[in-house]
Structure 1
Amino acid sequence: FIRLIIIMEEHGMFVETNVEENKRPEHEKYLRLAIKLAEENVQRGLGGPFAVICKNGKIIAQGANQVVPANDPTAHAEMVTIRLACQELKTHNLEGCVIYSSCEPCPMCLGAIYWAHLNHIYFSHSKSDAKDIGFDDHFIYEELARELHERRVGITQLLKDESKAFLMWAESQTKTHY
């Protein structure tokens, strides 16, 4: 194993990643593909980040950031690629899959990666690199650490006693956990 340690100074923490030496070329190949596709996307004037999802050494899906052309703030490269992979595999569970992204996933994409049950993330540029070119999502991490009443976006809970959906779902015999 090669132990790579990336120091995340801005948060006072580090990320450890162990890469099996015999698997490293495969991971680098798919990450290089994501980087190449991101560069091609920038050259076409369509934005940068790009992601690739693989399973058992086979590309399942690849996707680019579509925020501006789709007028969709959730259409980050990772989100687009997760949607395509789920459609391709006809499942909402991407366990056994790996995602390669030209940039470290933002909080939204990271949440989607967890919900989709992807096994691993490989990325080239860090969130600090993204911040340096104008994509600073550090405030989102700070917001999530605050109490609801302290957040910039107002959050108010109403009508809990009138909402039966949670109880109905909890009692359903046909529910699918995910």
Structure 2
Amino acid sequence: MVDRNPYREDRGPSLVAPIVTAIAGFGLGLWAARRRPRPRTIANTGSPERAASRRAWATAEEIQGRFSDEASRGFMRRAIANARKAGIEERTGWPFGAVIVDRDGEIVGDGSNHVFANHDPTAHGEVQAIRAACAALKTINLEGCILYSSSEPCPMCLAAAYWSGIDGIVFGALADDAAAINGFGDAFLYSEIAAPPAARELPVVDLLRDEAVAVLREYQSQPGESP
């Protein structure tokens, strides 16, 4: 089988420490941001302002017990059907799909991978489902919802789930399954995220920081809430 992903590599225990370090650093940065005065508030959003708040996150047990086994299996089968649609039936992208389910057990967003059809490398099934749910509910805050994904989300989709504010994620196939069967390995990305910018394979260079910071300060000085 031809490896479709040039960055494919097996996951190993060595990735755990850098990932934990990256998450810890992210959390510390949010805490520091929270300590600074913020005259401008951000409403109705899964933004840094909300991410830094003391939210009472749902537990894995609460996510598993929110719906009956029959209902949960139905949601997952819908996500798997979306994966089949994307990769086999309609061939819009890779074989990954997802759904967003609200607290009442209603599917508010369907997503199937559309990276080929949309010429968009970010159009993963989970991202498509999040976009659909936000559009349907007219919000960027999906607190109270659960994401069901046919496969374990990649780093980008995991980050999108955090930004959306959903309560939890339920997935079918492991990332290791997708890597072993199809060559969809994402361990490289986890390593890159955990590494300091100067050590990453993708060059990252800063430019015109003062001018960019001026816009941030001007935005922060405005009264009222964002749209």
TM-score range, shorter-chain basis? 0.7 to 0.9
**Deviations for 1:72-122, whole angstroms, at most 9, x for unmatched residues?**
000000111111110000001111111111011111111110000011111
* 1:144 and 2:146 matched: no
> Shift of the alpha carbon at 1:23?
3.0
Match of 1:43 among 88, 107, 113: 88
Match of 2:218 among 163, 168, 178: 168
What CA RMSD, in Å, does the superposition of the two structures yield over aligned residues? 2.1
**Secondary structure class of the residue paired with 1:152:** coil
> Shift of the alpha carbon at 1:154?
0.6
* CA distance 1:21–1:69, shift in 2 (3 Å): closer
Contact 1:53–1:62 (CA under 8 A) maintained in structure 2 = yes
> Shift of the alpha carbon at 1:168?
1.2
**Secondary structure class of the residue paired with 1:67:** coil
Match of 1:53 among 100, 119, 125: 100
* CA distance 1:84–1:158, shift in 2 (3 Å): same
* CA distance 1:22–1:115, shift in 2 (3 Å): closer
- Unpaired stretches in structure 2, ≥5 consecutive residues: 1-10, 17-58
Between 1 and 2, higher relative CO (CA 8 Å, sep ≥ 6) is seen in 2
Identity of aligned residues (%): 35
Give the structure with the larger strand fraction: 1
Once superposed, which parts of structure 1, at least 4 consecutive aligned residues long, lie more than 4 Å away? none
- Unpaired stretches in structure 1, ≥5 consecutive residues: 1-8
CA distance in 2, matches of 1:168, 1:11: 44
